[in-house]
């Protein structure tokens, strides 16, 4: 019981991180305020990026990601933190039922064949690569920069994902027999360190929402882009549940962390 309690505390911290990150970013004072009607500086969505800057950018991103929990003690952060914790608690409570359902269901076989783990993985690689190629051909620096930022966001996200997976070592639904116990999943997964074999959070989902957020924020002036980007990311997340690769809470964590890391650590918005 004590081990499960520790696991849930770690889980709560990881879920609360995105909301704390958002609150902290929003609350930081502007060193040089300007009148509302004055011209605003260039958006942080235009953060400079290049192949040479990727490693320094990643180091800076990781520093921001891991330092946010330390600065998250301010009282003004309790509202978003409480909201995240409420969703977390609800999903964890529902996981045994949802996980068992998808583990036994055959209604999604056709969907799973199309949106298999390999297919969605290749698709997420193809999206920024294709955009970068289009930027090279069309000599569009924004396209190239967006593709590099998306790659940066994925690396940032997967570093955090690996740490959480190896810390929580949650069993995947597919590792549990259809009639097995879907409630006792924490600290049960085996595997070598740094492999990220655990179920929490969903690596596919965190990558999908990392890419989607960069695309949506950089090209939000085209109204259809956010709908398509987040819609496809949502399909990726749902497929991880129908494939019994992850529980709903794993997918929610991936989505929340992917969005937060891209927006607040990578794009600095």
In angstroms, rounded to a whole number, what is the distance separating the alpha carbons of residues 96 and 65?
30
Whether residue 50 is predicted with pLDDT greater than 70 in this model: the reply is yes
Read off the pLDDT of each residue in 220-246 and give the average, rounded to a whole number: 94
Q: Is residue 229 in a domain?
A: yes
Percent of the chain with pLDDT strictly greater than 90? 46
Q: Is residue 262 in a domain?
A: yes
Give the tens place of pLDDT for each residue, 159-210: 999 998 988 888 899 988 888 888 888 887 776 566 667 888 999 999 999 9
Domain CATH for 86: 1.20.144
Residue 33 confidence (pLDDT): 42
Q: Is residue 114 in a domain?
A: yes
Q: Is residue 36 in a domain?
A: no
Residue 92 confidence (pLDDT): 87
Whether residue 43 is predicted with pLDDT greater than 80 in this model: the reply is no
User: How many domains does the chain contain in total?
Assistant: 1
Q: Is residue 35 in a domain?
A: no
Q: Is residue 37 in a domain?
A: no
Q: Is residue 62 in a domain?
A: yes
When mean pLDDT is compared over 6-15, 80-89, 251-260, the highest value belongs to: 251-260
217 in Cβ contact with 230 (< 8 Å): no
Q: Is residue 91 in a domain?
A: yes
Q: Which range marks the domain in which residue 138 is found?
A: 2-27+44-266
């Amino acid at each position: 019981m004590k081990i499960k309690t520790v696991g849930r505390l770690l889980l709560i911290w990881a879920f609360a991180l995105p909301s704390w990150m958002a609150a902290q970013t929003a609350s930081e004072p502007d060193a040089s305020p300007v009148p509302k009607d004055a011209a605003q500086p260039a958006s942080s969505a235009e953060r400079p990026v290049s192949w040479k800057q990727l490693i320094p950018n990643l180091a800076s991103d990781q520093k921001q990601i891991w330092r946010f929990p330390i600065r998250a003690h301010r009282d003004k952060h309790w509202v978003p933190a409480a909201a995240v914790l409420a969703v977390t608690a609800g999903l964890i409570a529902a996981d045994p039922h949802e996980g068992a359902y998808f583990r036994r269901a055959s209604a999604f076989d056709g969907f799973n064949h199309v949106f298999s783990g390999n297919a969605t993985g290749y698709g997420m690689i193809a999206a920024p690569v294709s955009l970068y190629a289009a930027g090279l051909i069309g000599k569009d620096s924004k396209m190239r920069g967006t593709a590099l930022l998306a790659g940066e966001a994925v690396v940032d996200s997967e570093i955090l994902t690996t740490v959480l997976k190896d810390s929580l070592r949650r069993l995947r639904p597919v590792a549990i027999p259809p009639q097995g116990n879907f409630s006792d999943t924490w600290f049960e997964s085996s595997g070598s360190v740094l492999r990220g074999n655990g179920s929490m959070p969903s690596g596919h989902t965190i990558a999908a929402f990392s890419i989607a957020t960069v695309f949506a924020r950089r090209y939000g002036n085209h109204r259809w882009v956010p709908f398509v980007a987040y819609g496809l990311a949502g399909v990726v997340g749902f497929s991880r549940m129908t494939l019994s690769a992850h529980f709903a809470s794993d997918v929610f964590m991936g989505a929340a962390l992917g969005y937060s890391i891209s927006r607040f650590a990578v794009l600095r918005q």
